[in-house]
Amino acid sequence: MNQGIEVIVYPVSNLAQAKTLYRTLLGVDPYVDQAYYVGFRVGDQEIGLDPYGHSKGVTGPVVYLSVADIQSSLKQLLEAGAQEVQAVQDVGGGKLIASVKDADGNNIGLIQNP
């Protein structure tokens, strides 16, 4: 199911302040800089900032694992006892995301690239 960690997304309440902090921490400028998401690339790893994460109940970073078939992967996780947090959603260009939480409340993200 898992093809590797694709992105780690942090929920932030002050996007401008977080962007400055993460730019300093990571030593790179964001490659995506929008009001709804700021993304940094460090090597092959993406670090994202989500200003709407807290309003969706996200309390900490979410690791998004790359999967080949998000619908199948989501179904398998739900059958294994996960609870759906976010249904499959197209976030642009055919990139699909979804998230679940485990029995301890930890968020797990899934991402399928086009």
User: In the CATH hierarchy, which top-level class contains the domain 2-112?
Assistant: alpha beta
Encode pLDDT of 52-89 as tens digits.
988 988 889 999 999 999 999 999 999 999 999 999 99
Encode pLDDT of 6-44 as tens digits.
899 999 999 999 999 999 999 999 999 999 999 999 998
Give the pLDDT band of residue 1 (cuts 50, 70, 90).
low
Residue given tokens 């993200």 in the structure block: 109
Residue given tokens 């939480």 in the structure block: 101
Collapse the DSSP code of 27 into the 3-class scheme (helix H, G, I; strand E, B; otherwise coil) and give the result. coil
Query: What are the domain boundaries of the chain?
Result: 2-112
Residues 6+ apart with CB under 8 A from 26: 40, 42, 47
